[in-house]
Structure 1
Amino acid sequence: MSLECVHMPISPKNLLVVSHRYRSFQKDPIDLVSPYFDNVYVLVRFNKFADVSKYVHIPALQPFISSSKIDYTNKPLNLEVYKTSMFNLPLDSQYKKLGKLHLSVVEKIIGENNLNFDLIHSHFIWSAGYVGAKLKEKYNVPFIVTAHGYDVYDLPFKDDEWRSKIEYVLNSADAIITVSNSNRECIKKLDVKTPVTVIPNGYRQDLFYPSDTFKCRKSLDLPIDKKIILSVGNLEELKGHKYLIEAMDYLLRIRKDTICFIIGEGKLESRLNKQIKLAGLEKNVKLVGGKPHNEIPLWMNACDVFVLPSLKESFGVVQVEAMACGKPVVATRNGGSEEIIVSKDYGLICDPARPKELAENISLSLDKSWDSKKIDSYVSQFSLSVICNRILDIYDSVLSN
C-alpha cells in the first residue's frame, strides 16, 4: 500500500524542523512532506541526563533516551537529523529555563553545519516552539508551530509565567496547527491572535491496515483461544492504565476468556506491575514493554478490541491506527477520543477513571459483531496522506505570504 501526498511541488526551499522526537507521529508527516523540499533538517532535543538509563534501568527515563527519540527507518535521502543535546533536571523550574538552553544548542548546530532554511516548523510549543520563535526573529523566515497536547492544555494554565511564555510563542508564529478541537478551545482561552488550524495526527496506511488475526497471533506467539484486549501508550498517570487493570479485575468476574496486553514504557512500570500482582492478574494482564513502531500493526490486528483509558488525550493516534486495522475502540471522554468515536459503529466511550463502566464497555464490545470494513472506511479521513496534504497547504500559504 503506497504512502504519498498528492500536492503541487513547493518551489526550491529548505525546511528546518525543531522537534522533541523523530519517530512515530512526529517522524511520519516530516518524512512525507520531505519530497516537496530540497533539504529537510530535523533537530531533535535530547536530555543528556536521560541517557543514564542506558546503563541503569530507570523506567521514568526510558521514553527519553536516545534510542526512544530517533527512528532512522526509511529516512528520506534529503533529510538530515541532528541531535541537540543538553543537560537539564526534570524540575519545573529547570523546564522553564529550557527554552534558552535549547536555543543556544540549536544555534550552535546551525552555525557549525551552515544550515540555510526558508521555513521553520516546531513540534510542541515548549521548548521547540520557543526556539522556532527566536529563530524567526533572527533569520526573518516564517515559523509554524504545532501544539500537540500538554503544551497547550496544561503548561499555560500552571501560572502566569508559563502563560506568558506560551502566548509569546503562539503570537510569534505565522500559523498554528493543533491536533484537536479541544486543544483549539484551550488556545481560545489565551491572548493569541495567530490563526489556528486543526489538523489531527495521521496514521500510516502502508503500515496500518486489516490483516489476518490468526496469522498475527501466531507471529507474536499470542493465545488463539482468548479474547485479546490491547492498549498502547507510555506508562504515565494521564494514560489511565491503572483503571484498565482495575477494569480487567471486574471483567474477569464476568468472563474468563480475556487477556490484556499493554504496550509501553515509563515511570509507572513498577507500580503497575505491583498492582497487577496484588490483584492476582498476572495471567490476564501483561505489561510487554515498548515495541518498534512497525510491530504495532501486528499487535493491533491480533487483538479483538483496542482500549484507550486515558484521563486526558489531545488526539490519540493509536486509536485511529487500531481502527485502520478494522478494530473497534473502547475509550474514555478524554478530550480527543470523543472527536473520533462519533458513532457506536466504531467503538464505545465512557467517562474516564470509571473502571467498572470501562469493563462493561469492553465486555459489550467483545460480544458485538463489528463491521471492520465500515470502521476502516470511516477512519481513512485520518490517513497520513490526507493529513500531509493539509500541512503542505499551510506551508504554501505561509511561504506565499
Structure 2
Amino acid sequence: MASQAINSKTADKTLLVLSPDFPNENNNQYSGASFVKNQLEPIKKYFKEIIVIAPKLFTGGVLNIDKLCQDYSYDNVTVYYPYSIFYPRSLPPKSLNRHKVVLDFRAHTVERLIKKENIDFDIIHAHFTWPSAYIAARLKENYETPMVVTVHEDSGWLSEELEDCHPRIRFAWESADALIRVNKKDVPKLRAYNEHTYAIPNGHSPNFQPKDKLQCRKELNLPLDKKTIFGIGSLIERKGFNFLIDAMKMVNEYNKDVMCYICGAGPLKNTLQKQIQNLQLTNCVKLVGYVPEDLLPMWMNASDLFVLPSLNEGNPIVMFECLGCGKPFVGTDVGGVREIVTSEDYGLLVRPGNVQDLAEKLLTALDRDWDNKKIVAYARQYSWENIAGRVVRIYNELL
C-alpha cells in the first residue's frame, strides 16, 4: 500500500509499534487492545511500512493464545507475536507487581526478533509504559532511533508506577523523545520525569456512528418498548459494576420499564450474577458476556444511554465510542472523563463508588430529551482520524 501522506516526513519511513497486546487477524483475541489497531488505521497512510511487535506469553500450548495469535499482514502493516516468558501484571498477587517488572523477558524477545527478521525502523511508538516503553528505550539506545510513548494506564495503575518509581519505569519515561498522556490531568505528574509530555486523548473509529435504535434492538432481540442502559467492561473490581447493580435496584423502584445490559467477561461474573439475584433484579439487569467488537456499535445504538461506573480510568475508549453514536454518557468523574464530558449536553458525571448519586443521575438521564445530533457533532473532533493527525505531527517534529 503506497503512502497517501503529502508533505509528511514519515512518507518514506517505517514505524515500529510496540504493544503488550494487539488484536489478531480475526479481531477475536486481545480485543481489549483494539484501540491500538484502530489508531493505526488512519496512521498507516502516513508511512511506507508499519511493524507491530506484541510478544505473547509462552504457555507450552496450554492456552488457545498460541493458535489464535499468529503473525499476519494487512495493507502496509506486519504484525509479529513472538513467544516470551513473563509474569502478567493482571495475575495475582498484586504485591508482586514490582517484581513482575524484573521477571519479564519481553525486551530480550523483541530485540532477538528484530535481529532475526532484520527489521529496520525509523521511529518507535510504544503503547503503555510497561513493558513497551522500557523496550523502546533500550532500542533507542542501540539503534539511535526516536521514541514516542503513549501512557494509556488507568489512573490507579499510573499512581502505582509513580509511587513505586521502579528504575526501569523511570528509564522508560526519561528516555522518551515525547510522552503522550491520554488526559491533561496527569501531564504535570509525568513532566516531572520528561518535559516533553503532551496530552492527546483517545478516540473512536468510524464504526461508531448513529444507527436506527429500533432496528438495532430487533437485530439483538432486545425489548423495543423499554428504556435501555448499556455498559461494557471487564468484570473486575476497578470497573465498579457492583455499584451499577446496586443503583439499578433504586432505579427499578422508580421505573419498572428500564433494562440494563452489562457486557464483558472477567473473574467477578459469578459474584455479580449472585448480586443481581439477591437484589431480585434478574428481569431488568442482564450480564451479556463477551461481545465481539463488530457488534459493539449495534449495542451502543440500541441503548438510550451508556454508563461506566469505574473507580479509575485514564480516558476510556468506550466514552468516545458512545458519544460517536450520539448517546449520552453517564459515568464516574475519574481520569480524563471531565475533560471530555465538558457539558451536561453530552452526559452526566457521578462521584466514584456513590450508589445514590449514580442512581439519581441514571434516572435524570433516562427522563431527559437528549440532542443526539449535537452529541455526534461534538464527538467528531475525537475521531481516530483527527487524533492520529495530532500524533503524526509529533512524529514529524522528531524526524
Kindly tell me: are residues 21 and 94 of structure 1, through their superposed partners in 2, closer, same or farther at Cα, counting changes over 3 Å?
A: same
Kindly tell me: are residues 192 and 309 of structure 1, through their superposed partners in 2, closer, same or farther at Cα, counting changes over 3 Å?
A: same
Q: Does 286-295 or 315-324 show the bigger shift?
A: 286-295
The one-letter code matched in structure 2 to 1:245 is I
The residue that corresponds to 2:193 in the other structure is 192
The residue that corresponds to 2:224 in the other structure is 224
Kindly tell me: are residues 356 and 49 of structure 1, through their superposed partners in 2, closer, same or farther at Cα, counting changes over 3 Å?
A: farther
The residue that corresponds to 1:252 in the other structure is 252
* 1:85 Cα deviation from its structure 2 partner: 2.3
Q: 3-state DSSP class of the match of 1:203?
A: coil
Measured against aligned partners, the alpha-carbon deviations of 1:94-126 in whole angstroms (never above 9, x if no partner) come to 421155x11111011112211111111100011
Matched pairs, number: 378
The residue that corresponds to 2:132 in the other structure is 128
The one-letter code matched in structure 2 to 1:114 is N
Q: Does 1:140 align with 2:144?
A: yes
Kindly tell me: are residues 11 and 95 of structure 1, through their superposed partners in 2, closer, same or farther at Cα, counting changes over 3 Å?
A: same
Kindly tell me: are residues 145 and 68 of structure 1, through their superposed partners in 2, closer, same or farther at Cα, counting changes over 3 Å?
A: farther
The residue that corresponds to 1:181 in the other structure is 184
The residue that corresponds to 1:78 in the other structure is 76
The residue that corresponds to 1:42 in the other structure is 52
The residue that corresponds to 2:361 in the other structure is 361
Q: Does the CA-based 8 Å contact 1:34-1:76 persist in structure 2?
A: no
Kindly tell me: are residues 263 and 105 of structure 1, through their superposed partners in 2, closer, same or farther at Cα, counting changes over 3 Å?
A: same
Pairwise mapping of residues 86-125 of structure 1 onto structure 2 (< 5 A)? 86-89=84-87, 90=91, 91-99=96-104, 101-125=105-129
The one-letter code matched in structure 2 to 1:115 is I
Q: 3-state DSSP class of the match of 1:274?
A: helix
TM-score by length of 1: 0.88
Kindly tell me: are residues 5 and 237 of structure 1, through their superposed partners in 2, closer, same or farther at Cα, counting changes over 3 Å?
A: farther
Q: Does 85-94 or 306-315 show the bigger shift?
A: 85-94
Q: 3-state DSSP class of the match of 1:192?
A: coil
Q: Does the CA-based 8 Å contact 1:241-1:309 persist in structure 2?
A: yes
Kindly tell me: are residues 381 and 260 of structure 1, through their superposed partners in 2, closer, same or farther at Cα, counting changes over 3 Å?
A: same
Q: 3-state DSSP class of the match of 2:361?
A: helix
* 1:70 Cα deviation from its structure 2 partner: 8.8
Tell me how far apart the structure 1 counterparts of residues 383 and 198 of structure 2 sit (CA, whole Å).
Answer: 17
Q: Does 1:319 align with 2:312?
A: no
Kindly tell me: are residues 276 and 237 of structure 1, through their superposed partners in 2, closer, same or farther at Cα, counting changes over 3 Å?
A: same
Pairwise mapping of residues 22-41 of structure 1 onto structure 2 (< 5 A)? 22-23=22-23, 24-41=34-51
Kindly tell me: are residues 71 and 350 of structure 1, through their superposed partners in 2, closer, same or farther at Cα, counting changes over 3 Å?
A: farther
The one-letter code matched in structure 2 to 1:31 is E
Measured against aligned partners, the alpha-carbon deviations of 1:215-257 in whole angstroms (never above 9, x if no partner) come to 0001111111211100111112111111111111111111101
Q: Does 1:212 align with 2:216?
A: no
The residue that corresponds to 1:278 in the other structure is 278
Q: Does 150-159 or 35-44 show the bigger shift?
A: 150-159
List gaps (5 residues or longer) in structure 2: 24-33
The residue that corresponds to 1:169 in the other structure is 172
The one-letter code matched in structure 1 to 2:284 is N
List gaps (5 residues or longer) in structure 1: 55-64
* 1:31 Cα deviation from its structure 2 partner: 2.5
* 1:283 Cα deviation from its structure 2 partner: 1.9
Tell me how far apart the structure 2 counterparts of residues 281 and 5 of structure 1 sit (CA, whole Å).
Answer: 53
Tell me how far apart the structure 1 counterparts of residues 153 and 60 of structure 2 sit (CA, whole Å).
Answer: 22
Q: 3-state DSSP class of the match of 2:370?
A: coil
Q: Does the CA-based 8 Å contact 1:5-1:385 persist in structure 2?
A: no
Measured against aligned partners, the alpha-carbon deviations of 1:275-317 in whole angstroms (never above 9, x if no partner) come to 2222222222111122222210000000011001111111112
Tell me how far apart the structure 2 counterparts of residues 335 and 20 of structure 1 sit (CA, whole Å).
Answer: 22
Q: Does the CA-based 8 Å contact 1:6-1:389 persist in structure 2?
A: no
The one-letter code matched in structure 2 to 1:26 is V
The residue that corresponds to 2:203 in the other structure is 202
Q: Does 1:328 align with 2:331?
A: no
Tell me how far apart the structure 2 counterparts of residues 321 and 70 of structure 1 sit (CA, whole Å).
Answer: 28
Kindly tell me: are residues 320 and 352 of structure 1, through their superposed partners in 2, closer, same or farther at Cα, counting changes over 3 Å?
A: same
Q: State, as a whole percentage, how many aligned pairs show the same letter.
A: 38
Q: Does the CA-based 8 Å contact 2:71-2:80 persist in structure 1?
A: no
Aligned CA-pair RMSD: 2.3
Tell me how far apart the structure 2 counterparts of residues 398 and 14 of structure 1 sit (CA, whole Å).
Answer: 14
Q: Does the CA-based 8 Å contact 2:22-2:36 persist in structure 1?
A: yes
